[in-house]
A = this chain, B = another copy of it.
Amino acid sequence: MSEQRILLAHGNGGRYMRELIAEIFARHLANAVLNTDADAVHLPGLTGDIMVTTDGFTVQPLEFPGGNLGSLAVHVVVNDLAVAGAEPRYATLSAIIEEGLEFDVLDRLIASFARAARENGLQVAAGDTKVVRHAEGGGLYLSVAGIGQRASSIPLGMQNIEPGDVVLVSGPVGDHGIAVMLAREQFGLSGNLRSDSASVLPLARAIWNQPGLKFMRDPTRGRLATVAHEIARATGLDVMLEQARVPVREEVKSVCEMLGYDPYYLACEGRIVAIASPDGANRILQTWQSLPDGEGASVIGLVENGKSQVILETELGGHRLLDELEDDPLPRIC
Contacts and interface: CB of A to CB of B under 8 A. Distances in A.
A46 B40 contact: no
B15 A325 contact: yes
A15 to B, nearest CB: 5
Contact of A331 (B8, B83, B148, B222): B8
A94 B96 contact: no
B325 A12 contact: yes
A44 B51 CA distance: 9
Interface string A76-97: 0001110110100010111110
A226 interface: yes
Given A58-B130, A141-B141, A332-B133, A86 B52 contact: no
Contacts of A50: 42-43, 46, 50
Contacts of A84: 38-41
B126 A217 contact: no
A236 to B, nearest CB: 14
A49 interface: yes
B127 A52 contact: no
Copies in the complex: 2
B43 A52 contact: yes
A80 to B, nearest CB: 4
Contacts of A267: 13
A118 to B, nearest CB: 19
A96 B52 contact: no
Nearest to A220: B13
A15 B328 CA distance: 10
A96 B143 contact: yes
Interface string A292-334: 0000000000000000000000000000000011111001101
Given A14-B328, A42-B150, 10 more contacts: A15-B326, A39-B218, A40-B53, A41-B52, A54-B128, A55-B94, A135-B135, A135-B136, A136-B138, A145-B145
**Leading 10 A-B pairs by shortest Cβ distance:** A14-B325, A143-B143, A145-B145, A12-B328, A54-B92, A94-B143, A40-B84, A13-B221, A40-B53, A56-B94
